[in-house]
Copies of this chain bind each other. A is one copy, B any other.
């Protein structure tokens, strides 16, 4: 996973969650994240592909949630931004003539699956609504 994608996606979703059915432009979102609108649109593309967000083109267009933040779990976000295991393998192929080198990646694969699963379960306990409630004073 690209480490900061989770943070960026949760930030975007929190804004959408609090804007209640209004179309938010990538420009406004980028202003809150202090980054570039094109980058925001790239992140939004993943959220749209996963069906959490819908977009509207043209003037006064933007993005909004497709469902209640009560029905969106942070584990959903994790699943969307997760491309690989949380932990990474060594960049080089280990030596196949060594008993450890031969099997280490297989052994790690199993362990990494369990770690990913533990994180998933943890995030399953929090909804987007619960998370974004922290931002209303």
Contacts and interface: CB of A to CB of B under 8 A. Distances in A.
Contact of A92 (B10, B33, B101, B115): B33
Contacts of A50: none
A79 interface: no
Nearest to A102: B135
Interface string A16-54: 001000000000000111110000000000000000000
A94 B33 contact: yes
Interface residues of A, number: 50
B123 A115 contact: yes
A135 B11 contact: no
A131 interface: yes
Interface of A: 3-4, 6-8, 10-11, 14-15, 18, 31-35, 74, 86-95, 98-104, 107-108, 111, 114-115, 118-119, 121-123, 126, 131-132, 134-137
9 contacts: A3-B86, A7-B89, A10-B104, A10-B108, A11-B90, A31-B95, A86-B86, A103-B134, A115-B123
